[in-house]
Amino acid sequence: MITDESPTLLSDVEPGQHATVTAFIGDLERTKRLREMGLLPGTRIKFVRWAPMGDPLEIELRGYRLSLRRHEAELIQVLSEVS
């Protein structure tokens, strides 16, 4: 697996690209539910698409699809894989 050197935000990942979560920005309360749904440091995700109006976005993780807003995606640091 080849990854970019520097971490980016989940909101900057290109559709179709894979990435691995490295860290969460901010306090636990805001991201607790996302973590409980299996989005954890070390989890590999696929950025599927943006919604037609540019927000929210859709990702695939642990074999299922989840939608979150740009606002939340900006709290999640990832290393994206270079295709």
Partner 1 sequence: MAAVATTTFALVGNPNCGKTTIFNALTGLRQKIGNYPGVTVEKKVGSFFTQHGEKRDLVDLPGTYSLVPQSPDERVTRDTLLGLQPDIPQPDRVICVLDASNLERNLYLATQVLEVGLPTVVVLNMMDIATAKGEKIDLELLSDRLGCPVVPTTANHSDGLLALRVALSQPGLPNSSVYADFTDLENVSEAAIAARYERIGSIAAEVISYSVVDGEDRTDRIDAVLTHPVWGWAVFLGLMGLMFWSIFTFASYPMDFIDASFGKLSAFIQETMPAGDLRDLLTDGIIAGVGGVVIFLPQILILFLFIGLLEDSGYMARAAFIMDRVMSRVGLHGKSFIPLLSSYACAIPGIMATRTIESPRDRLATILVAPFMSCSARLPVYGLMISTLVPTGVASAGTKAGLMMLMYLLGTGGAFFFALLFKRTFLRGEPPPLVLELPPYRVPGLVTVLQHMLSRGSAFLRRAGTIILGLSILLWFVSTFPRTEAGLSGSFAGRAGHFLEPVLEPLGFNWKIGIGLIGAQAAREVFVATMGIVYSIDGADENTEPLRVALLKDHWPDGRPVFTPLVSLCIMVFFVFSMQCIATLAVVKRETNTWRWPLFQFFYMTAFAYVFTLAVYQLGRSLGY
Binding site residues, partner 1, CB under 8 A: 28, 30-38, 40-41, 48-49, 51-56, 58, 62-69, 71-72
Nearest to 6 by CA among 81, 60, 79: 79
Q: CB 35 → partner 1: shortest distance, Å?
A: 5
> Which ranges of 3-69 does DSSP label H, i.e. alpha helix?
28-36
Task: CB nearer to partner 1: give 5 or 42.
Answer: 42
How far apart are alpha carbons 30 and 35 in whole angstroms? 10
Q: Based on CB atoms, which residue is closest to partner 1, 52 or 83?
A: 52
Q: How far is the CB of 52 from partner 1 (least distance, A)?
A: 4
Nearer to partner 1, 4 or 41 (CB): 41
Cα angle 57-67-52, degrees, rounded to a multiple of 5: 40
Residues constituting the chain: 83
